[in-house]
Structure 1
C-alpha cells in the first residue's frame, strides 16, 4: 500500500492540561466537530483561526477564554484589519471574515456547552463581503492551448493531460479530482462518482468523451509505470506511485497555464469557472450547472450568469438604439476634421 501523508504535530498554544486554558477548549471543540462528522478541512481551518486568536491573546496577557469580552474581540478585529503579510499586503476582507466567523462559532459553542456564562462574540459584526466575480475565465481556444501543453510522450505528461481534460470537462474541485478512484470512472455510462465532495456529499456527474479517452490512455499506457508494483486504487498518482496531493495539482496546473502563453493566471479553479461559463454561453440550464459543480444553493451558481457575457452582448447589440440606424464614425474622417481644426487655429 502507498505511504500515507503524516500530519505535522501541532504545537499547543499553552498548557493543554490546564482545564481553563485555550488549548484545552480547542482540543475539546475539535473532538466535538469530528463526532458531528465535520470534514477535516473545516476542522483544520476552525482550529487554525482560533489558535491564532489564542496566541494574540496570550501575547497580551490574556490567558483564559473566560476573560474574553466583546471589546477584546473588537481589538482583535482591528488588529486583523491593520495586519500586513510578509509581502506587506493587508489581509483580504474574506480572510478577515474567515478568522472572525471561526471565532464566533467557537464562542457560540463554548456558551452552548456551558463552558462560558455568555457568548462575547454574539454581537460581533463581521466584515461585509463583496460579490466578487472570477478573476479570469478561459475562452474555448485558450483552454485548448493549455490542454496541449503537457508532453504526452512521457507518462507524467499523459497523466497531466488526463488531469487537465478532466478539470475542463467536469469542473470538479481539486480535492475531488485528487480523491478519484479507478472504480469511480464508469466508461459505459460516461460518468464519474464524486465521493465525499464539499459538505461530505456524493454526486454522479457526466464526463465528456474526450476526457474519458485521455483517462483511458493514461490508465492503459502510463499509470502502470507510475505504480511501481504497488496496489493503489487512487486514479491519479505521483511518479512514486502515491495518490497525488491537491497542493501538487495546483502547482502543476498553474505551471501549464503559465507555459501555454495565453497571458492569463490561474490554476485548478480556473477550469471550474471556464467549464461553467462556457456551458452557460452554449445554452445549458443553470440548474444543470449547479448539479455539475455540486453547489448546495443556486445563488452560488448564479455568479456565472454574470460572467457569461456573450448573450448579454448580443441582446445589447440587437436592442440598444445607439447601434441602430446610425453610421459608425470613420477614423479617416475624424483625422481630417482634426487637421482642419488645427489649421484654422
Structure 2
C-alpha cells in the first residue's frame, strides 16, 4: 500500500536525522515494520487509524504462532510501538494502541569475561619489534584498558588521543562524544605503535590517513579486521575461549566493578545511556566473592 510506504519513508528519515540511528538500527526497524505491514495488508486494514487493541492482540498471536522467542517478540513490538509513537506525533493517528501492550522482559544472560590470568596470556604474545605486533598490542591495550566499543576503536583518529592527560575522545552511539581515560600500559603501547609500527604500515599505502589503527596494507582497519586480529591472538595464546571485542568490553567492566569502582562511573566510561544497561555487569566471580568473605567475615578467618 502506498500510504504504508510513505509512512515508512518518513519514519526512516526521522530515525536517521533526529535520532542519529545507525544504519544497523534502521535496518532492524524497517525489517520489523515490513512484517507488520504484511499483517496490515493480510487483515485488510484500510488505514493505520484502524489499528486498535484487538488488532494488536491478533498481531501478537500471529508472532507467537511462529514460535518466536519472547525476546524477538518484545523487540518487534518495541519497534512498532516507536513507529506508532512517531505517527501520533505527526497526527497520522489519534492514539497508540501498542502503548498499552506490556511484555515481560526475558532475563539477560550474564556477559562472558576473561580472568586476569587469561588476559596476561594475550598481553604476552605480541612481538614489540614487529609493526603488526605493535598494532595488535596497542589494540588489545586500548580495548581492555578503556572498555570502548569496537566501532569506537576502529574510528579513532590521532587527534582523539591526548597523551598529556591520558584520555581518548570517543564518538559513541548516536554520535555522542565522551572522554575515556587510559592507563600507563595503554599509553606505552600506543606511543610505540604510533611512532614506529604505524609509520611503517602507512608507508605501504602511501596515504596520509589520520585513523589510528591500520591493517597490514596500511589502510584503516575494519571492525571485522579487529575481530580477526583478536581471534588470531587467541589461537596464538592457546586459549580455548572465544575472544571478541565485546568480551574485552565485558572484561573491562567486570574487573572495574570487582576492584571497587562504582556503577555510575562504569556507566559513564562505557557510554551507556541508562544505568540498567550497566547493571548486567554487577555479577562478580566466585573467587572474588570468596576472597571478600574470607577477609571480611569474623567467623571465616582461621
TM-score by length of 2: 0.83
Instruction: Note the residue ranges of structure 1 that are not aligned, 5 or more in a row.
Output: 1-13, 85-89, 326-345
Are the counterparts in 1 of residues 19 and 174 from structure 2 also a CA contact under 8 Å?
Answer: no
The answer for the alignment partner of 2:140 in structure 1 is 164
Q: Structure 2 matches for 1:168-179, cutoff 5 A?
A: 168-179=144-155
Matched with 1:194 is 170
The answer on whether the counterparts of 2:77 and 2:98 sit within 8 Å (CA) in structure 1 is no
Question: Which of the numbers 198, 212, 233 marks the counterpart of 2:187?
Answer: 212
Residue 156 of structure 2 aligns to a residue in which SS?
A: coil
SS at the partner of 1:262?
coil
- Equivalents in 2 of 1:239, 1:46: separation in Å? 36
Cα distance in structure 1, aligned partners of 2:46 and 2:197: 56
Task: Verify: 1:36 aligned to 2:36, yes or no.
Answer: no
- Residues 101 and 126, structure 1, Cα contact 8 Å, conserved in 2: no
Quote the offset at 1:28 in angstroms. Answer: 0.6
Q: Choose from 171, 196, 202 the match for 1:221.
A: 196
Q: What displacement does 1:96 show?
A: 3.0
C-alpha contact 1:179 1:234 (8 A) present in aligned 2: yes
If you compute each CA radius of gyration, which structure gives the higher value, 1 or 2? Answer: 1
Match of 1:203 in 2: 178
Counterpart-to-counterpart distance in 2, 1:225 and 1:251: 21
Aligned residue pairs, count: 298
C-alpha distance in 2 between matches for 1:167 and 1:81: 39
Q: Distance in 2 between matches of 1:300 and 1:40?
A: 19
Q: Which residue of 1 aligns with 2:131?
A: 155
Per-residue CA distance 1:13-59 (angstroms, 9 max, x = gap): x6xxx2x1x22211111222333242324434333322343345556
Distance 1:100 1:313, change over 3 A: same
Name the structure 2 match of 1:335. none
> Paired residue for 2:297?
319
Take 1:105 and 1:223, find their aligned partners in 2: how far apart are those partners? 44
Instruction: Indicate the residue corresponding to 1:51 in structure 2.
Output: 34
Pair 48,160 (structure 1): closer, same or farther in 2 beyond 3 Å:
farther
Q: Cα distance, 1:212 vs. partner?
A: 1.9
TM-score (norm. length: structure 1): 0.73
The 3 A distance-change label for structure 1 pair 144 and 98 is same
CA distance in 2, matches of 1:247, 1:63: 44
2:82 aligned to which of 92, 100, 105: 105
Partner of 1:290: 267
Select 2:208's aligned residue among 224, 231, 245: 231
Query: Is the 2:254–2:283 Cα contact (8 Å) retained in structure 1?
Result: no
- Asked if the contact 1:257/1:267 (under 8 Å) is kept, the reply is no
CA distance in structure 1 between the partners assigned to 2:107 and 2:55 by the alignment: 26
Choose between structure 1 and 2: higher helix proportion.
2
Against the structure 1 CA distance between its residues 286 and 123, is the aligned structure 2 distance closer, same or farther, given a 3 Å change threshold?
Answer: closer
**Is the contact made by 2:142 and 2:182 (CA closer than 8 Å) also made in structure 1?**
yes
Gaps of 5+ in 2: none
Partner of 1:222, secondary structure, is helix
Which shifted more, 181-190 or 43-52?
43-52
CA distance in 1, matches of 2:193, 2:140: 12
